């Protein structure tokens, strides 16, 4: 049972004042949890900050930087009746003038907020418009009392459409008020040695910083939280390994007939790396020890075929396999790839997602329980309680970093002694394999299947957007298909980035009904319909967010356009590029960027032009992230982690691994006093799966 003192943190977000069912929806999207909890909000750490201590005069203010200025209100110039012009307010401070611009705000409201003759403090960004200073929609308009309450350093958080920064700030303040004083969950000597604050102090410092050190990713507060998360992960890994060793495995030995038929049905020859991986897996599943293997393969290296062969090995022995993917798009893509090969070999295969309901789902579950299905492919739906296998021998988890340990173990628990194969198309640097995955066996697919084309990769300034659109037109005229990737679904209040919906509208105006749109917020049926149109060739351009990052296979697509490529991490850019170059025609990837570029963004784009080796790119990604800014971004996180950032927290991994081994060597069941602290930590960081290994008996 979870300790009662954690209840305030695990309470639903709707228990906070001001968050009703309507507000819960955007918070659920932001925090990627349904329903969101107070703890999820507290673990939503800033992506940047604004230093409100900067108080220049108007003459001193540097354009395009965030400032707080003291001004006198001089005059209002409301929009003329019937016109869509903005309301303008003139303010000054003795060293210069500034025009405030507000759209869609009532003039009477603005005149109350900014009375003529009054002194006000404005927080925002000054720009130059026709040589004149202008501030559009100030972040804050404060009187003297409001200024006294202004935080000196204000965190900036990632947002989603429908959620403003003010709403998030108020919710965060309410969540901080729920923080209990927890017992120390980390080894006390380590906390003293590192000078770390308590759990409660760490969150308060990051969300209410008084100094830049409070909010820095390398600072004591963030380091403490990152270590907690890594330590909980290492404890879980160690407990999982101990449990698997204790339970043992069941040898599964086939006669080779199914995998021979699958290989015969393949339209290409297996690579040497694929053959080696399959051989390793056959040895593993044929032993009495449970397999725990990570299959790393670059984009297009053929992991799905290795997974199918592994499933064939256990089906030959009359047992079952399951393949779980993180998204429905990817699960359906796997099924489309596997189903014809499985059918040719006589391997019975089925698909289960959240959309299978009613009688078809009941029939599928009955067939699964009776053993009439050899391989089940699906999403999280495959780990629901009513999904029962007759004899699950092999659990395969694709894009494993997008699942929690709990979900991975839930799948393997569907079979009493099931072997576990984890797959990732995001190569992980060797320097991180041991600490992130412990002593897990490793197979790598470094070869591309025969016929894969090298992709011509170019970096193009967004100033040449019209030329890029013309290049798309030429590609269409030549019979090709095109991906156009955007970083966002819809515009948020503080961004000028291109959005998928806007780009879709612009391209549709140019190219008509040949353009389709896919993003994560579409209903499953709409997504499938758009993907089906693109796969069949009816749609020639697919505008999308990173929902197409993995698993989508359209060989006729030969042009990939990635808008605002400077906003993506190297690994993600490489994954997206891997959607083209899958047929027999030359392919091109255009990385559209907005100048000027920072040094790290320049290095990323240069690496993309220079290499198509995902393993080399992963190593360079790690090197570049080591040169991170004061604050990391979500792209700098370890796969599967919320708080730990690769650019700064790599050194903590070794310490976390060592400490986890130490505590379990002394107290394997975490039954002593220090064990209570470790149990609390496991609950706090969502490693509930490990608690099943620590039953009192």
| CATH number, position 86 | 2.40.50.140
User: What CA–CA distance (Å, rounded) separates 386 from 290?
Assistant: 25
Segment 306-332 mean pLDDT: 92
DSSP 224: H
Q: Assess whether 308 and 366 both reside in one domain.
A: yes
Q: Assess whether 59 and 43 both reside in one domain.
A: no
**More confident: 230 or 595:** 230
Look at residue 632 in the predicted model and tell me its pLDDT.
Answer: 34
pLDDT at 626 over 80: no
Q: Assess whether 115 and 172 both reside in one domain.
A: no
Q: Could you tell me if residue 540 is inside a domain? A: yes
Q: Assess whether 203 and 314 both reside in one domain.
A: no
**More confident: 188 or 434:** 188
Look at residue 550 in the predicted model and tell me its pLDDT.
Answer: 47
Look at residue 270 in the predicted model and tell me its pLDDT.
Answer: 92
Segment 399-415 mean pLDDT: 70
Among the ranges given (429-443, 551-565, 652-666), the one the predictor scored with the smallest mean pLDDT: 429-443
Are the C-beta atoms of 108 and 98 separated by less than 8 Å? Answer: no
Q: Could you tell me if residue 641 is inside a domain? A: no
| pLDDT confidence band for 321 (50 / 70 / 90) | very high
Dihedral angle over CA of 172, 176, 178, 182, nearest 10 = 140
Domain that residue 136 falls in: 53-150
User: What CA–CA distance (Å, rounded) separates 417 from 249?
Assistant: 5
Among residues 481, 567, 480, the alpha carbon closest in space to that of 516 is found at 481
On the CB side of 474, how many CA atoms lie within 13 Å of its CA?
8
Look at residue 406 in the predicted model and tell me its pLDDT.
Answer: 62
Segment 315-328 mean pLDDT: 92
| pLDDT confidence band for 697 (50 / 70 / 90) | very low
Look at residue 244 in the predicted model and tell me its pLDDT.
Answer: 67
pLDDT at 442 over 70: yes
Segment 598-624 mean pLDDT: 84
Q: Could you tell me which residues are beta bridge partners of residue 614?
A: none
Look at residue 405 in the predicted model and tell me its pLDDT.
Answer: 59
User: What CA–CA distance (Å, rounded) separates 593 from 408?
Assistant: 37
Q: Assess whether 492 and 437 both reside in one domain.
A: no
Residues 6+ apart with CB under 8 A from 368: 320, 350, 376, 387, 388, 389, 390
Residues 6+ apart with CB under 8 A from 537: 481, 556
Residues 6+ apart with CB under 8 A from 277: 295, 306, 443, 444, 445
Laid out side by side, the sheet with 441-445 consists of 349-352, 375-378, 320-324, 392-397, 419-424, 292-297, 441-445
Greatest distance between any 2 Cα atoms in the chain: 90
Helix (H) or strand (E) holding 40: helix 38-42
Token pair recorded at residue 511: 């190219």
- Residue 341 belongs to domain with CATH number: 3.40.50.300
Q: Assess whether 195 and 137 both reside in one domain.
A: no
Laid out side by side, the sheet with 132-136 consists of 127-129, 132-136, 97-102, 87-92, 66-77, 119-125, 140-142
Helix (H, G, I), strand (E, B) or coil at 590: strand
| Mean pLDDT score of the chain | 86
Are the C-beta atoms of 102 and 87 separated by less than 8 Å? Answer: yes
Helix (H, G, I), strand (E, B) or coil at 280: helix
Look at residue 254 in the predicted model and tell me its pLDDT.
Answer: 85
Segment 20-29 mean pLDDT: 90
**More confident: 686 or 589:** 589
Q: Could you tell me if residue 345 is inside a domain? A: yes
pLDDT at 540 over 50: yes
| pTM of the entire predicted model | 0.68
Look at residue 340 in the predicted model and tell me its pLDDT.
Answer: 95
Look at residue 115 in the predicted model and tell me its pLDDT.
Answer: 96
**More confident: 329 or 40:** 40
| pLDDT confidence band for 480 (50 / 70 / 90) | very high
pLDDT at 22 over 60: yes
Segment 477-499 mean pLDDT: 69
pLDDT at 164 over 90: no
Helix (H) or strand (E) holding 520: none
| pLDDT confidence band for 628 (50 / 70 / 90) | very low
Sign of CA dihedral 95, 99, 105, 110: positive
Are the C-beta atoms of 262 and 312 separated by less than 8 Å? Answer: yes
Q: What's the total number of domains in the chain?
A: 4
Q: Assess whether 290 and 429 both reside in one domain.
A: yes
Q: Assess whether 164 and 122 both reside in one domain.
A: no
Segment 507-529 mean pLDDT: 85
Look at residue 400 in the predicted model and tell me its pLDDT.
Answer: 64
**More confident: 171 or 103:** 171
| pLDDT confidence band for 206 (50 / 70 / 90) | very high
Domain boundary among 564, 589, 611: 611
Look at residue 476 in the predicted model and tell me its pLDDT.
Answer: 94
Q: Assess whether 75 and 39 both reside in one domain.
A: no
Task: Identify the residue whose tokens are 């500034």.
Answer: 98
Q: Assess whether 87 and 163 both reside in one domain.
A: no
Cα distances (angstroms) measured from residue 27 to each of 23, 165, 522: 7, 12, 17
By percentage, how much of the chain surpasses pLDDT 70? 89
**More confident: 590 or 532:** 590
Cα distances (angstroms) measured from residue 416 to each of 11, 393, 395, 423: 33, 8, 11, 21
Segment 668-694 mean pLDDT: 77
Look at residue 623 in the predicted model and tell me its pLDDT.
Answer: 72
Q: Could you tell me if residue 660 is inside a domain? A: no
Q: Assess whether 45 and 57 both reside in one domain.
A: no
Q: Could you tell me if residue 28 is inside a domain? A: yes
Q: Assess whether 589 and 576 both reside in one domain.
A: yes
User: What CA–CA distance (Å, rounded) separates 395 from 419?
Assistant: 6
Domain boundary among 390, 415, 445: 445
Segment 244-262 mean pLDDT: 83
Are the C-beta atoms of 344 and 308 separated by less than 8 Å? Answer: no
Q: Could you tell me if residue 508 is inside a domain? A: yes
Helix (H) or strand (E) holding 375: strand 375-378
pLDDT at 223 over 90: yes
Segment 590-611 mean pLDDT: 89
Among residues 142, 148, 75, the alpha carbon closest in space to that of 115 is found at 75
Q: In terms of DSSP bridges, do strands 119-125 and 66-77 run parallel, antiparallel, or are they unpaired?
A: antiparallel
**More confident: 12 or 614:** 12
pLDDT at 686 over 80: yes
Q: Could you tell me if residue 651 is inside a domain? A: no
Among the ranges given (233-242, 535-544, 581-590), the one the predictor scored with the smallest mean pLDDT: 233-242
- Inter-axis angle of helices 272-285 and 303-316, to 10 degrees? 30
Look at residue 435 in the predicted model and tell me its pLDDT.
Answer: 61
| pLDDT confidence band for 696 (50 / 70 / 90) | very low
pLDDT at 630 over 70: no
**More confident: 696 or 37:** 37
Domain boundary among 392, 420, 445: 445
* Range from 85-89, 235-239, 327-331, 452-456 that averages highest in pLDDT: 85-89
Token pair recorded at residue 465: 């957007």
- In 251-328 the beta strands, taken as DSSP E runs, fall at 292-297, 320-324
Helix (H, G, I), strand (E, B) or coil at 150: coil
Helix (H, G, I), strand (E, B) or coil at 176: helix
Q: Could you tell me if residue 617 is inside a domain? A: no
Among residues 608, 614, 615, 616, the alpha carbon closest in space to that of 588 is found at 608
């Amino acid at each position: 049972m979870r300790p009662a003192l954690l209840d305030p943190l695990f309470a639903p977000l709707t228990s906070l004042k001001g968050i009703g069912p309507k507000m819960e929806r955007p918070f659920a999207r932001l925090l990627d949890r349904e329903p969101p909890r107070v703890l999820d909000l507290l673990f939503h750490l800033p992506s940047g900050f604004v230093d409100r201590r900067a108080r220049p005069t108007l003459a001193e203010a540097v354009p395009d930087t965030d400032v707080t200025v003291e001004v006198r209100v001089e005059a209002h110039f409301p929009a003329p009746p019937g016109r869509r012009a903005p309301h303008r307010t003139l303010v000054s401070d003795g060293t210069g003038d500034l025009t405030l611009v507000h759209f869609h705000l009532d003039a009477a409201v603005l005149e109350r907020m900014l009375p003529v003759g009054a002194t006000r403090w404005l927080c925002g960004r000054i720009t130059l418009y026709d040589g004149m200073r202008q501030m559009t929609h100030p972040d804050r308009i404060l009187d003297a009392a409001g200024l006294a309450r202004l935080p000196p350093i204000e965190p900036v958080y990632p947002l989603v459409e429908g959620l403003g920064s003010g709403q998030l700030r108020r919710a965060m303040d309410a969540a901080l008020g729920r923080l209990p004083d927890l017992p120390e969950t980390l080894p006390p000597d380590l906390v003293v040695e590192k000078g770390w604050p308590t759990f409660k102090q760490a969150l308060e410092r990051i969300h209410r910083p008084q100094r830049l050190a409070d909010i820095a990713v390398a600072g004591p507060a963030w380091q403490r939280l990152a270590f907690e998360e890594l330590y909980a992960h290492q404890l879980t890994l160690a407990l999982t390994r101990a449990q698997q060793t204790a339970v043992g495995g069941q040898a599964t030995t086939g006669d080779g007939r199914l995998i021979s038929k699958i290989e015969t049905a393949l339209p290409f020859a297996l690579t040497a790396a694929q053959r080696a991986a399959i051989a390793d897996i056959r040895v593993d599943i044929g032993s009495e020890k449970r397999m725990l293997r990570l299959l790393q393969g670059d984009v297009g290296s053929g992991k799905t075929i290795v997974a199918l062969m592994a499933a064939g090995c256990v089906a030959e022995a009359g047992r079952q396999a399951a393949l779980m993917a993180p998204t429905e798009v990817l699960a359906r893509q796997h099924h489309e790839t596997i189903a014809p090969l499985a059918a040719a070999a006589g391997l019975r295969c089925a698909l289960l997602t959240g959309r299978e309901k009613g009688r078809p789902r009941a029939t599928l579950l009955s067939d699964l329980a009776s053993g009439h299905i050899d391989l089940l492919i699906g999403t999280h739906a495959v780990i629901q309680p009513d999904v029962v296998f007759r004899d699950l021998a092999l659990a395969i988890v694709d894009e494993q970093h997008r699942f929690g340990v709990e979900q991975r173990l839930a799948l393997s628990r569907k079979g009493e002694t099931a072997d576990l194969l984890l797959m990732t198309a995001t190569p992980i640097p060797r320097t991180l394999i041991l600490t992130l995955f412990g002593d897990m066996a490793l197979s790598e697919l470094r070869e591309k299947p025969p016929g894969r084309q090298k992709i011509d990769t170019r970096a193009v300034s967004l100033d040449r957007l019209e030329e890029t659109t013309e290049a798309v037109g030429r590609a269409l005229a030549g019979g090709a298909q095109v991906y156009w990737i955007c970083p966002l679904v819809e515009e948020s209040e503080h961004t000028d980035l291109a959005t998928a919906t806007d780009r879709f509208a612009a391209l549709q105006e140019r190219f008509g009904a040949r353009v389709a749109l896919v993003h994560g917020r579409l209903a499953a049926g709409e997504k499938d319909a758009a993907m089906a149109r693109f796969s069949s060739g009816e749609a020639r351009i697919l505008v999308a967010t990173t929902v197409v990052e993995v698993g989508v296979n359209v060989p006729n697509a030969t042009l990939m356009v990635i808008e605002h490529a400077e906003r993506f991490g190297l690994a993600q850019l490489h994954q997206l590029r891997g959607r083209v170059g899958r047929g027999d025609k030359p392919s091109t990837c255009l990385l559209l960027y907005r100048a000027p570029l920072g040094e790290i963004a320049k290095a990323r784009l240069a690496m993309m032009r220079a290499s198509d080796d995902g393993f080399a790119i992963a190593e360079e990604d790690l090197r570049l992230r080591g040169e991170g800014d004061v604050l990391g971004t979500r792209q700098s996180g370890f796969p599967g982690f919320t708080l730990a950032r690769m650019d700064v927290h790599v050194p903590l991994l070794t310490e976390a691994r060592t400490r986890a081994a130490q505590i379990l060597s002394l107290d394997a069941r975490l039954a002593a006093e220090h064990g209570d602290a470790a149990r609390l930590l496991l609950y706090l960081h969502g490693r509930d799966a490990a608690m099943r290994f620590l039953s009192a008996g």
